[in-house]
Structure 1
């Protein structure tokens, strides 16, 4: 049997203060954070922006993980994106001031997860099926659709980040 620290987040039990229907979202986000943190222990910042075979860089994935969470949770609140969020989106894939190292990018991602968890705690489950508009075109989704997509999109980019990191580490040897 695995020790609790080695179990994936979803196997550790319910998270306090998170509504039951939103537990899978919180579990996926926390799992992503743990796996990115583990990758950062020995990651060389010189590899951060390398794009093997034209693939997105580790830096891009870290920025995108942060930005997508911010944007999708903003839409879930029924709000439009701010100029700062649009600037972040436009800059994804390039080094940014105060977001130019693995550690700094990870910290921004970790902070965004904390904001997301707080929002999940305060999400009224009676509103989960309410329609929310996405993007300038206001494409219809729902609160739960946006929150679920934030979780699955984070997991998808986590997987891409891990593969890219493994490739650039191997190529640098």
Structure 2
């Protein structure tokens, strides 16, 4: 210290000193069978391969997604000014990633947009498929959104499938309460 012109000591808070603190604790370990080396492995490539998921049902012809996809990919607009304006406004909610259309959510991750045929298949599979539990509407929709799917008529489509399910009709509870209150008839 005498050879330096000046020196100062400053206290570093624990939040800024986590890595050094962890290294000092590793160095102070007195376990005889562990070596006192910190091994660091740098991965040059991902350790797992990315899975490629294919659609089970392909949409045929034009769907409600077609104009939005054409606008996002090619910038193609309808001839009518009103329709073109509406399409531009709708397209702000969507994005295309790896040739798959997604919708942007405020509180959720990107949700994959599906067409009519795919939506029918998804609802049936979640409600009464291999892992289906014949659950209620809210549970089916929550599961679909957790799986990463979305379409505008999700609630109506799911309600149709659930109300048409034979197993749910057979095993549902029988309502015994009256639809309307009884009205007493007074004799003259």
TM bucket (normalised to shorter chain) is: under 0.3
* Greater share of residues in helix: 1
Q: Radius of gyration: which is bigger?
A: 2
Which structure has more relative contact order (CA 8 Å, sep 6+)? It is 1
